[in-house]
């Protein structure tokens, strides 16, 4: 499924790299501990988190993730957004909780790293 | 842990338009089934889209032909035997969409249309397999060529041990630039045509070691990635405070990170375990808890892996 479809279906707000929404989402991962994300998230995954500081962009870029969804209305730092723009990583925000976002992503057929 | 194979990734990246058959043999609704038989036989195909006035109006297959033959209806027009308004796929959709369509509908072929709905090709399972294999082969050749150039560095620059070293300074508490050293090293390894799975492991190792320097050291440190012919050596060196109990530091969940760092999602106490999981060799030294050096080796080829196992 294309990232732009996910953005539309979940009514996510695109906060950076709006030109990179054509990418295919290969799966999903949710965690707020960055080392867990480093260990498990796969290339092309969409990552759901509460963290809004700039290091989430470094993690997403190193793992070649498709996008980061920042939940519960957390406002990402301005530095996060400018770095994400630079690296071409879409940051998507939503007032929904992580639980609900993951549930909806699963409903769209997006699965976790275990197959 | 399940890894996404390159083939699965390709199914997402490659577009239907790149693998479909472009020269489509079409028939009209006015063709008879007898004419269809000749067309299918002459072109050695098992079905064809039905087009009228440039518009796709249906699809007809060899199964329809067999039914007509059995019923003695070979004079009937294609228009009365075809499947009207066939399910189509779009040329700019990725191949993975087509795979889902094949599984869902059970048809043997799909007409491919552009955004305006005009017929531009036809897609069978065979097209997908051929297209993806061709893509894999092209990538393989590109990679081989790059690897050949890379191995030549080591053949042309002769010494007892030739290597390329990337050196990145990491400042303590510098969360704003966290990840930069790992990004630089990841990019360099990719340019040197190191296999993607090994680049991923090296990126995880350098990231975790970089974060450790940022979070735990008093005066920062350095990350070195040394690329040798058969292995990557990654070293993280800092000037203290050092690790009093290395065994304890390796326990999953053990961390000395302060609360404010943990709130950012760091300091979960699994960083070194991540490093260990990605390393073929790992050595942590912190003599007298003065400074710390973490040395990791990631093997680049199988021979090296065997040698490492034999030594262990």
Distance CA B120, CA B93 (A): 13
B19, B23, B29, B34 alpha-carbon torsion, rounded to 10°: -110
Flag the least confident range among A101-105, B71-75, B153-157, B173-177. Answer: B153-157
Q: Which residues of A touch B211 (CB under 8 A)?
A: 34-35
- Confidence band of B201 (pLDDT split at 50, 70, 90): very high
Q: Which residues of B touch A32 (CB under 8 A)?
A: 265
Note whether A26 contacts B9, CB cutoff 8 Å. Answer: yes
The full set of domains in chain B, from first to last, is 6-131 (3.10.580.10), 152-311 (3.30.565.10)
Helix extents (H) in B44-93:
62-70, 78-81
Angle at B300 between CA B297 and CA B305, to 5 degrees: 75
* pLDDT 10s digits, B248-305: 999 999 999 988 889 888 988 889 999 999 999 999 999 987 899 999 999 987 655 5
Chain B contact present for A22, CB below 8 A: no
Distance CA A98, CA B28 (A): 54
Q: Is residue B307 predicted with pLDDT exceeding 70?
A: no
- Confidence band of B312 (pLDDT split at 50, 70, 90): low
* pLDDT 10s digits, B110-138: 999 998 888 999 999 999 999 999 988 88
Q: Which residues of B touch A55 (CB under 8 A)?
A: 175, 178-179, 264-266
**Residue of chain A whose alpha carbon sits nearest to that of B178:** A55
* A 57-86 residues inside an 8 A Cβ radius of B: 57-59, 61-63, 79
**Residue of chain A whose alpha carbon sits nearest to that of B183:** A62
Q: Is residue B83 predicted with pLDDT exceeding 80?
A: yes
* Cβ–Cβ under 8 Å, residues B101 and B110: yes
**Residue A98 backbone dihedrals phi, psi, to 5 degrees:** -55, -40
Q: How far is A82 from chain B (nearest CA, A)?
A: 12
All residues at 6 or more sequence positions from B295 whose CB lies less than 8 Å from its CB, including other chains = B233, B234, B235, B281, B282, B283, B284, B285
Note whether B208 contacts A35, CB cutoff 8 Å. Answer: yes
Length of chain B as a residue count: 312
**Residue B107 backbone dihedrals phi, psi, to 5 degrees:** -80, 160
Q: Which residues of B touch A51 (CB under 8 A)?
A: 264-265
Helix (H, G, I), strand (E, B) or coil at B295: strand
Higher-pLDDT residue of B4, B99: B99
Distance CA B232, CA B235 (A): 10
* Cβ–Cβ under 8 Å, residues B207 and B182: yes
Distance CA A56, CA B172 (A): 18
Chain B contact present for A18, CB below 8 A: no
The pLDDT of residue B2: 43
Distance CA B260, CA A112 (A): 29
Note whether A51 contacts B12, CB cutoff 8 Å. Answer: no
Distance CA B30, CA A57 (A): 60
The pLDDT of residue B183: 92
Higher-pLDDT residue of B139, B58: B58
Interface test with A, best of B3, B8, B12 (most A CBs within 10 A): B12
- Confidence band of A29 (pLDDT split at 50, 70, 90): very high
Q: Is residue B4 predicted with pLDDT exceeding 80?
A: no
The pLDDT of residue B1: 36
Q: How far is A110 from chain B (nearest CA, A)?
A: 13
Chain pair A-B, CB pairs under 8 angstroms: 85
State the ipTM, two decimals.
0.80
* Cβ–Cβ under 8 Å, residues B78 and B32: yes
């Amino acid at each position: 499924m294309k990232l732009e479809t996910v953005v539309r279906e979940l009514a996510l707000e695109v906060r950076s790299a709006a030109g990179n929404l054509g990418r295919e989402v290969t799966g999903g991962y949710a965690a707020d501990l960055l080392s867990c994300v480093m260990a498990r998230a796969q290339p092309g995954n969409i990552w759901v988190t509460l963290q809004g500081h700039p290091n989430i962009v470094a993690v997403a870029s190193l793992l070649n993730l498709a996008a980061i969804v920042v939940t519960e209305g957390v406002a990402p730092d301005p530095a996060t957004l400018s770095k994400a723009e630079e690296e071409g990583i879409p940051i998507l925000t939503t007032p929904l909780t992580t639980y609900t976002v993951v549930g909806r992503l699963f409903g769209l057929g997006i699965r976790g790293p275990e197959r | 842990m399940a890894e996404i194979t390159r083939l699965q990734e390709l199914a997402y990246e490659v577009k239907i338009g790149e693998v479909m058959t472009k020269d489509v043999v079409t028939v009209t609704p006015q063709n008879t089934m007898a004419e269809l038989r000749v067309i299918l036989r002459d072109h050695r195909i098992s079905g064809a889209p039905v087009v009228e006035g440039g518009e796709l109006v249906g699809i007809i297959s060899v199964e329809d032909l067999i039914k007509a033959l059995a019923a003695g209806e070979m004079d009937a027009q294609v228009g009365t035997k075809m499947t009207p308004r066939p399910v189509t796929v779009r040329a700019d959709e990725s191949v993975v969409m087509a795979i889902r369509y094949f599984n869902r509908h059970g048809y043997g072929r799909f007409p491919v249309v552009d955004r305006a709905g005009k017929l531009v090709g036809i897609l069978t399972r065979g097209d997908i397999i051929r297209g993806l294999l061709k893509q894999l082969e092209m990538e393989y050749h590109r990679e081989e060529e790059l690897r050949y150039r890379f191995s030549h560095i080591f053949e042309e620059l002769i010494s007892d041990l030739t290597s390329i070293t990337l050196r990145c300074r990491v400042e303590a508490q510098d969360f704003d630039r966290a990840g930069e050293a790992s990004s630089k090293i990841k990019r360099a390894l990719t340019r040197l045509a190191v296999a993607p799975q090994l680049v991923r492991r090296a990126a995880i190792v350098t990231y975790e070691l970089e974060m450790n320097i940022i979070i735990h050291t008093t005066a920062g440190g350095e990350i070195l990635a040394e690329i040798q012919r058969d292995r990557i050596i990654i070293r993280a060196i800092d000037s203290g405070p050092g690790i009093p109990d290395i065994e304890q530091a390796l326990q999953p969940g053990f961390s000395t990170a302060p609360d404010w760092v943990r709130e950012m999602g760091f300091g979960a106490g699994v960083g070194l375990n991540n490093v260990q999981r990605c390393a073929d060799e790992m050595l942590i030294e912190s003599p007298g808890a003065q400074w710390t050096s973490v040395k990791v080796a990631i093997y680049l080829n199988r021979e090296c892996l065997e040698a490492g196992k034999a030594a262990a």
